[in-house]
Amino acid sequence: MREDIPIWPKEEKVDAPWIPSSIKPIIFSFEIAKLNKDSKICDIGCGDGRVAIIASKYFGCSSTCVEKREDLCALALSNAIYNSVNDKFSVICEDARKIDYSEFDFIYIYMFPSFLREISLKLDKELKEGTKIVTLDFSIEGWIPILMKRIEDEKGIIRSIFLYFIGISNPSAWRIRRFYGYPRI
């Protein structure tokens, strides 16, 4: 058998498989973060868009999905149209590492720890003080959550929710605090 002829195409590196977030943790995340109609949220690795759709439909937020897979981008947009939120909803079909997150005041991430570790460096640099980040099931290594809560989802699975505040939870805030005191939120 020849080694230079692939039997199947090489798979693209995946940061996490698509596993949809359960509804209860999504709603709980939005409630603890106190989302409102003025909130601008971003769901990194959005899959079918359910997180951003719920934010737009039930909390009135402006929502953006970031997703690398084109098939899931199309699904998210289709779901937004079906739920009549496409006026408050956008999809960026791009690698999450290439997006500027400075405009958002809430970030939702359900990804593996390796991706969280990588994207946390970018978020630490780009997000403004007071921005909230929620991660589902995995914490951001080296960051201190201001809240960690375990809740049971609709299938009876216990989910961990971690809430972070830029200016308190992120490592760069600790270096600044030594000189300037605690940030206001």
What value does the mean pLDDT take over residues 40-57? 96
Is the pLDDT at 12 greater than 90? The verdict is no
Judge: domain 23-180, CATH 3.40.50.150. yes
Nearest to 166 by CA among 108, 138, 126, 113: 126
**For the chain, what are the domain ranges?**
23-180
Per-residue confidence band for 8, with pLDDT thresholds at 50, 70 and 90: very low
Mean pLDDT for the stretch of residues 162-179 = 80
Percentage, residues of the chain above pLDDT 70? 86
DSSP secondary structure of 105-158: SEEEE---HHHHHHHHHHHHHHSPTT-EEEEESS--TT---SEEEEEE-TTS-E
